[in-house]
A and B are shown apart, each in its own frame.
Chain A
Amino acid sequence: MNYSFSQKFWLVALRIAIGWHFLYEGLAKVTNANWSSVGYLLDSEGFLKDFFVNTLAGNPNMLQVIDFLNIWGLILIGLGLILGSFERIATISGILLLALYYLSHPPFVELKYAVPSEGSYLVVNKMLIEMIALAVVFVFPTNREFGLDRFIFGPAKIKK
Chain B
Amino acid sequence: MERRDLLKSLVSLPIVGAFGFEWFRKRHHEQYLTENIRNELNISTETPEYKPVSKDDKLIRIGLIGYGIRGKDLAKAAGFAHPTMIDDWKKGALENKDDKRFQDFLEQDSLNIQITGVCDIFDTYSRMAQEAGANALRQGTDGKLNQLPKRYLTHQELLASPDIDAVIIAAPDHWHGPISIAAAKAGKHVYCEKPMTWTVEETYEVRKAVKENNVVFQLGHQGRQNESYLKAKEIIAKGVLGKVNLIEVTTNRNDPNGAWVYPIHPDASPQTIDWNQFIGQAPPHEFSLERFFRWRCWWDYSTGLSGDLLTHEYDAMNQIFGLGIPHSAASSGGIYYFKDGRTVPDVLQTVFEYPDQDLSLVYSATLASNLSRGRKIMGHDAYMELDNSVTVYADRGSTRYKEKMDNGIIDPELPIYTYTPGIKNVDAITSPTSQYFAGRGLMYSYRSGRRIDTTHLHIREWLDAIRYGTKTSCNIDVAFQEAMTAHMGTKAYKENRHVYWDPVKEMIV
Q: Which of B10, B23, B98 contacts A27 (CB 8 A)?
A: B23
The answer to whether B447 and A39 have CB atoms under 8 Å apart is no
The answer to whether A116 and B6 have CB atoms under 8 Å apart is no
With contact pairs A58-B97, A83-B16 given, residues A151 and B447 touching in the complex (Cβ less than 8 Å): no
Q: Mark A120-156, 1 if CB is under 8 A from B, else 0.
A: 0000000000000000000000000111111100010
Bound complex: CA A127 to CA B16 (Å): 24
Bound complex: CA A36 to CA B5 (Å): 42
The answer to whether A83 and B13 have CB atoms under 8 Å apart is yes
Chain B interface residue number, banded: 20 to 34
Bound complex: CA A68 to CA B27 (Å): 21
The answer to whether A31 and B434 have CB atoms under 8 Å apart is no
A72 at the interface (CB under 8 A from B): no
How far in angstroms is the closest Cβ of chain B from A126?
A: 14
The answer to whether B424 and A147 have CB atoms under 8 Å apart is no
The answer to whether B447 and A60 have CB atoms under 8 Å apart is yes
The answer to whether B9 and A60 have CB atoms under 8 Å apart is no
9-residue interface stretch from B145-153, B307-315, B343-351, B438-446: B438-446
Contacts of A64 in B (CB 8 A): 447
Contacts of B442 in A (CB 8 A): 39, 42, 114
Q: Which of A33, A39, A79 contacts B437 (CB 8 A)?
A: A39
Q: Which of B9, B423, B436, B440 contacts A151 (CB 8 A)?
A: B9
Contacts of B5 in A (CB 8 A): 150-151, 155
Q: Mark A33-69, 1 if CB is under 8 A from B, else 0.
A: 1101011101000000010011001101001100000
Work out how many contacts link A and B, with CB atoms closer than 8 A: 85
- The total of chain A residues at the interface (CB under 8 A) is 38
Bound complex: CA A115 to CA B97 (Å): 22
Q: Mark A77-112, 1 if CB is under 8 A from B, else 0.
A: 001001110000000000000000000000000000
Residue picked from B12, B98, B434, B437, most chain A C-beta under 10 Å: B12
Bound complex: CA A50 to CA B11 (Å): 44
Q: Which of B10, B12, B98 contacts A58 (CB 8 A)?
A: B98
Contacts of B432 in A (CB 8 A): 116, 118
Residue picked from A42, A145, A147, A150, most chain B C-beta under 10 Å: A150
B15 at the interface (CB under 8 A from A): yes
How far in angstroms is the closest Cβ of chain B from A141?
A: 14
Q: Is the interface of A mostly helix, strand, loop or mixed?
A: helix
Contacts of A145 in B (CB 8 A): 8
Contacts of A74 in B (CB 8 A): none
Bound complex: CA A100 to CA B255 (Å): 39
Bound complex: CA A17 to CA B465 (Å): 62
CB-CB nearest in chain B for A59: B446
The answer to whether A54 and B423 have CB atoms under 8 Å apart is no
Bound complex: CA A130 to CA B437 (Å): 26
Contacts of A79 in B (CB 8 A): 16
With contact pairs A58-B98, A60-B446, A115-B436 given, residues A150 and B9 touching in the complex (Cβ less than 8 Å): yes
Bound complex: CA A64 to CA B27 (Å): 25
The answer to whether A115 and B12 have CB atoms under 8 Å apart is no
The answer to whether A16 and B15 have CB atoms under 8 Å apart is yes
With contact pairs A58-B98, A60-B447, A145-B8 given, residues A82 and B434 touching in the complex (Cβ less than 8 Å): no
The answer to whether A39 and B443 have CB atoms under 8 Å apart is yes
How far in angstroms is the closest Cβ of chain A from B58?
A: 34
How far in angstroms is the closest Cβ of chain A from B94?
A: 12
Contacts of A31 in B (CB 8 A): 27
The answer to whether B9 and A116 have CB atoms under 8 Å apart is no
Bound complex: CA A74 to CA B215 (Å): 60
Q: Mark B1-36, 1 if CB is under 8 A from A, else 0.
A: 100011011111101100100010001000000000
With contact pairs A83-B16, A151-B1 given, residues A39 and B9 touching in the complex (Cβ less than 8 Å): no
CB-CB nearest in chain A for B11: A146
The answer to whether A114 and B446 have CB atoms under 8 Å apart is no
Question: 19 interchain pairs (CB within 8 A)?
Answer: A12-B12, A16-B12, A31-B27, A33-B425, A34-B424, A34-B425, A38-B443, A39-B433, A39-B437, A50-B97, A58-B98, A60-B446, A63-B446, A64-B447, A114-B440, A115-B433, A147-B9, A149-B9, A150-B8
Q: Rank and list the top 5 A-B pairs by shortest CB-CB distance, nearest first.
A: A151-B9, A54-B97, A150-B9, A146-B11, A60-B446
Which residues of A are interface residues toward B (Cβ below 8 A)?
Answer: 12, 16, 20, 23-24, 27, 31, 33-34, 36, 38-40, 42, 50, 53-54, 57-58, 60, 63-64, 79, 82-84, 114-116, 118, 145-151, 155
